[in-house]
Structure 1
Amino acid sequence: MTDVTQNSGNVVASNHHRDLGLRSRYGSERRFQSYGVIAIGLGVLFLILLFWSIISKGYTAFQQTKINLELELSEQILDPSGNRAREQLQMAIRYNKIIEPAFYKALGINPKDKTKRQDMKEAKKLISRGASIELRDMVLENPDLVGQTINIWIVADGDTDSFVKGQIPRDVPESRRQITDQQIGWIDSLMEQGVMAKKFNWGLFTYGASSRAETAGIGAAAVGSLFMMLIVLVLALPIGVAASIYLEEFAPQNRWTDLIEVNINNLAAVPSIVFGLLGLAVFINFAGLPRSASVVGGLVLTLMTLPTIIIATRSALKAVPPSIREAALGIGASKTQAIFHHVLPLAAPGILTGTIIGLAQALGETAPLLMIGMVAFVKDYPVTPLDPATALPVQIYMWANAAERAFVERTSAAIMILLAFLAVMNISAVLLRRRFERRW
């Protein structure tokens, strides 16, 4: 009887210990899941805060304050000779003599009244210095406008734009803001009349570099980035795919191929600024290619993108079942025919995905482009890859270092545009892979 009681007690104790162990394991599992949820939540929270910080500062850049004026393009001022010579029409100072009187008229200021000189000086600050250049470019594009009276929207000054958008508060002392009380009165009057209004800022997408925020845009930088991406695509894709096919399908397994594979994997982890130093030494100092040109940037980014494409292509080739190769060889195809007619088409989705991801990575790079001098002030669009150019990430870097308040929103807006491009490229890679991949 004593033995039975003792055995029963041992069984109960064993079950108790087992229950405690199970509860401990289940508790550990629940804690681990909680840690994972917390980690994901923190990551999403930080991402939301990042996007909120960028969007809250940058969305206003997609609108620009403009002033509607009726301008008389006097032939006597713009082209006294009447021959429509481009040299005469290019003199931007002449267009100020057309814009300023029209603006004074809108404010009710008589330019001939000498007592109003200080008012005219203050009023002139509300107009961007780039307005005359805009008007000049319009006339150069269509010289027949000379002698006509046109109604156009001209760009307001950056401080005026910031005030209209609420970035410069009106309830602070006049000595602590860039806009005077008199200028605020004029702005309120023009806004009530509909002469001054916020318009969609097409210039953000079409302008080049400018020292004035209101006439600065990403147009020239976007063209430079386009040239570089085309160079990367034309060079990196065929070279990367060819190298991958050789290493995966034809290269003998020896110490040399092992060394090449190790170095390719190491190059994928090399900091991008090292590729910039390499490009500076080889393409500019040795080969003599022009500094700050899209062709140099494209070559540097090609070197940086090649390891990514090679690694992705080799992974795609490995994913094709060996039975595909064996079946092709079994019906009499050569090894080359088996690879190019059967294996490569089946690996194309993975290759395409790796290429797009490599291009997206190259599009967002800044450090190597800084090393090869692509921080030049480029106002005009580059026509060829040999022309001076900059890139979208470099333009963002340059705007971030600008002192003017209005460049803050330009910087955030350019970041939003760059992130949109990167998101489209990455989403395209995912969709294309799902669309064309085959499951074995």
Structure 2
Amino acid sequence: MTELASPTVKVSTRPAETRRDIGIKRRYAAERRFRAYGITAITLGLLFLAILISTVVSNGYTAFLQTTITLPIEFTEKVIDPKNERATDPKTLMTANYPVLVRNALVKQLGLDPTKRPLLKQATDMISPSARMQLRNMVVADPSLIGQTVPVTMLAEANIDSAFKGQIDLSVDEGRRRVKDQQVAWMNQLADAGVLKKSFNTGIFTFGASSRPEAAGVGVALVGSLYMMLIVLVLALPIGVAASIYLEEFAPKNRLTDLIEVNINNLAAVPSIVYGLLGLAVFINFAGMPRSAALVGGFVLTLMTLPTIIIATRAALKAVPPSIRSAALGLGASRMQTIFHHVLPLAMPGILTGTIIGLAHALGETAPLLLIGMVAFVVDFPGSPLEPSTALPVQIYMWANEPERAFVERTSGAIIILLIFLVFMNLGAILLRRRFERRW
């Protein structure tokens, strides 16, 4: 009978303390590597964020400065109302040749020869075409200006504005840039005389859409976004909170409520463009609501924000200790009194935080608004949510597609405005949470 060979057992010659020290060193080395990975990831994230913000700010901070030209405009009656018909025909003041007034002022300011039309055209091209509407509105509002000479501050044309801000390389050949050498000389002459200068651009907050970059602003977009955020707040907050209270406090735990919870979580992850398709099909095609209206945009953003508010509200309700409910019920409070007098006030910080985050998310959405037609060219401010309007992110999208160099500046400036709104909304959510949060 052969004997089975016993397996060879290797006995470590290292002391137990040495093996333990090696294990500890390996564990510490793994922790250091993991810490280094985390620091590297945070550093890269901050680096990319810094690059993004610096790029936007460097391209857009000049949008808050505007080059203006102040000229003494002589509101000559021969140009505005040569037949003295303004008393019987108010349209006379609307159709007058106001660019002639600008040209005459430039002729006197620059000492030009009125017979040299090419030079006159180059000079008048330095003034924004929006000056015609500006002078017309002044005369229509106050016809007594006719016959007077009044200093008027007008916007410089976009290329002159860019050149004065140093955004156009004037050292290149004249044929490769839109600002002529003669215009550069006049620009320096007007700047030395204090006629041409830079000032804070209030128009970026008050102007509407315009094909001229110097006369374009986000005023209409801000009003449209305000209307939509009010609609979202009025609809999404009460509906979301009511749905959350029912699901968390009153609904029985069965397959139906489980299905509803799964669908709510899935809706929070649905791409926003799907909500745009839903709004186009239901609110515009089926219900017949007007396109480009802030009301439709508010309804679409409400549907998109509801899952976020419901999830945040349910999490806030769950965070309230069960002892609060037990104590209220033990003292004789009804189920409804327990929820609305004790649980809901304690959960309100989390509810407000989730609502503000949802509103901030809705404020930056573009895709669903594009599908419901909020890309209209809207010049006038909407008087109600039913009138055509646009939104701030949509305005950024439209400006980004424009070929002019000045619209790049306007696009970055509008992005800065949007980022400021988002930062303040998220900061408000953080402050609310820290101010009212209670730790159990």
TM over 0.5: yes
1:10 offset after TM fit, Å? 6.1
The runs of 5 or more residues in structure 2 that have no matched partner are: 1-10
In structure 2, what residue type is equivalent to 1:19? D
- Residues 86 and 273 (structure 1), Cα distance of their counterparts in 2 relative to 1, 3 Å cut: farther
Partner letter of residue 186 of structure 2?
W
Give, in whole Å, the separation in 2 of the partners of 1:210 and 1:84.
32
Please say if residues 291 and 374 of structure 1, whose CA atoms lie closer than 8 Å, have aligned partners that are also in contact. Answer: yes
Answering whether residue 105 of structure 2 is matched by residue 102 of structure 1, we say: yes
- 1:309 correspondence with 2:297: no
- What amino acid maps onto 2:52 in structure 1? L
Indicate the larger mover: 139-148 or 235-244: 139-148
CA separation of 1:229 and 1:143: change in aligned 2, threshold 3 A: farther
Match of 2:92 among 88, 103, 106: 88
Is the Cα–Cα contact under 8 Å of residues 294 and 390 in structure 1 kept in the other structure?
yes
Deviation, structure 1 residue 16: 2.5
Of 156-165 and 93-102, deviating more is 93-102
Q: Is the 8 A contact 2:86 2:93 kept in 1?
A: no
Contact map agreement 2:312 2:354 (CA 8 A) in 1: yes
Q: Indicate yes or no: 2:199 matched with 1:199.
A: yes
Give the residue type in structure 2 aligned to 1:328: A
1:129 corresponds to: 129
| 1:190 maps to amino acid | L
Amino acid at match of 1:180: K
3-state SS of 2:97 partner: helix
Q: 2:143 and 2:426 mapped to 1: Cα distance?
A: 46
The one-letter amino acid paired with 1:94 is N
Cα distance 1:123–1:192, how it changes in 2: closer, same or farther (>3 A)?
same
Could you tell me how far apart the structure 2 residues matched to 1:280 and 1:350 are? Answer: 33
The letter for the 1-side match of 2:173 is: P
1:173-206 residue CA offsets vs partner (Å, 9 max, x unmatched):
1111111111111111111111111111111110
SS of aligned partner of 1:53: helix
Is 1:214 the equivalent of 2:202?
no
Which residue is equivalent to 1:3? none
Out of 268-277 and 132-141, give the one that drifted further: 132-141
* Equivalent residue for 1:14, pick from 13, 16, 24: 16
Contact 2:86–2:92 (CA under 8 A) maintained in structure 1: no
Q: Distance in 2 between matches of 1:144 and 1:283?
A: 50
- Contact 2:102/2:124 (8 A) holds in 1: no
Deviation at 1:86, TM superposition (A): 4.5
Letter in 2 for 1:375: V
Q: Does 1:241 align with 2:245?
A: no
Asked if 1:273 is matched to 2:273, the reply is yes
User: What is the distance in 1 between the residues matched to 2:138 and 2:392?
Assistant: 26
Cα distance in structure 1, aligned partners of 2:298 and 2:147: 47
2:57 maps to 55
- Aligned partner of 2:389 in structure 1 is 389
Task: Report what 2:434 is aligned to.
Answer: 434
Give the deviation of 1:286 after TM superposition: 0.1
Give the equivalent residue in structure 1 for 2:351: 351
Q: Which amino acid aligns with 2:36?
A: S
Taking a change above 3 Å as real, the CA distance of residues 84 and 382 of structure 1, as seen in their structure-2 partners, is: farther
Note the alpha carbon deviations across 1:144-181, whole angstroms, 9 max, x for none. Answer: 43333211211111010111111111110111111111
Tell me the amino acid that sits aligned with residue 34 of structure 1: A
Q: Which amino acid aligns with 2:67?
A: T
Q: 1:157, 1:214 within 8 Å by CA — same for their partners in 2?
A: yes
C-alpha deviation, 1:17, in angstroms: 2.5
Identical columns (%): 64
> TM-score, structure 2 length as denominator?
0.94
Residues 68 and 153 in structure 2, CA contact (< 8 A), matched pair in contact too: yes
Give the letter for the 2:75 counterpart: L
Distance in 2 of aligned mates of 1:87 and 1:350: 59
For the residues of structure 2 that align with 1:37 and 1:139, how far apart are their CA atoms? 64
- In structure 1, C-alpha distance between the alignment counterparts of 2:144 and 2:342, rounded to whole Å: 62
Q: CA deviation at 1:353?
A: 0.6
Give the superposition deviation at 1:297: 0.3
CA distance in 1, matches of 2:175, 2:366: 39
Match of 2:42 among 32, 40, 43: 40
Separation in 2, partners of 1:428, 1:85: 55
Equivalent residues in 2 for 1:273-422, closer than 5 Å: 273-422=273-422
CA deviation string 1:50-88 (max 9, x = no partner): 001000000111111111100122334334324285533
| Cα-to-partner distance string for 1:358-378 (whole Å, 9 max, x where unaligned) | 100000000000000100000
- The secondary structure found in structure 1 opposite 2:69 is strand
CA contact (8 A) 1:75 1:82 kept: no
CA contact (8 A) 1:208 1:380 kept: yes
SS at match of 1:198: strand
- Give SS of 1:310's match: helix
Q: Secondary structure at the match of 1:379?
A: coil
| Residue of structure 2 equivalent to 1:181 | 181
- 5+ residue gaps, structure 1, are 1-8
Contact 2:224/2:382 (<8 A) preserved:
yes
Question: CA offsets per residue over residues 246-265 of structure 1, 9 Å max, x none?
Answer: 11111111111111110000
Distance apart, 1:11 and its partner CA? 7.1
On the 8 A contact 1:360/1:422 being kept in 2, the answer is: yes
The residue type paired with residue 420 of structure 2 is A
TM-score by length of 1: 0.94
1:97-122 CA distance string (max 9 Å, x none): 211110121111132xx2x1111011
Q: 2:68·2:199 contact (CA, 8 Å) conserved in 1?
A: yes
One-letter amino acid matched to 1:56: S
Tell me, in whole angstroms, the C-alpha distance in 2 between the residues paired with 1:394 and 1:353.
Answer: 26
The 1-side partners of 2:176 and 2:403 are apart by 17
SS in 1 for 2:381: coil
Matched residue, 2:5: none
Q: Which of 61, 66, 69 does residue 68 from structure 2 map onto?
A: 66
What SS does structure 2 have at the residue aligned with 1:66?
strand
In 1, distance between residues paired with 2:322 and 2:272?
A: 36
Alpha-carbon distance, 1:12 to partner: 4.6
What is the rounded CA distance, in whole Å, between the counterparts of 1:237 and 1:144 in structure 2? 53
Tell me the distance in 2 between the aligned counterparts of 1:406 and 1:54. 14
Q: Is the 8 A contact 2:280 2:372 kept in 1?
A: yes
Instruction: State whether residues 61 and 409 of structure 1, in contact with CA within 8 Å, keep that contact through their aligned partners in structure 2.
Output: yes
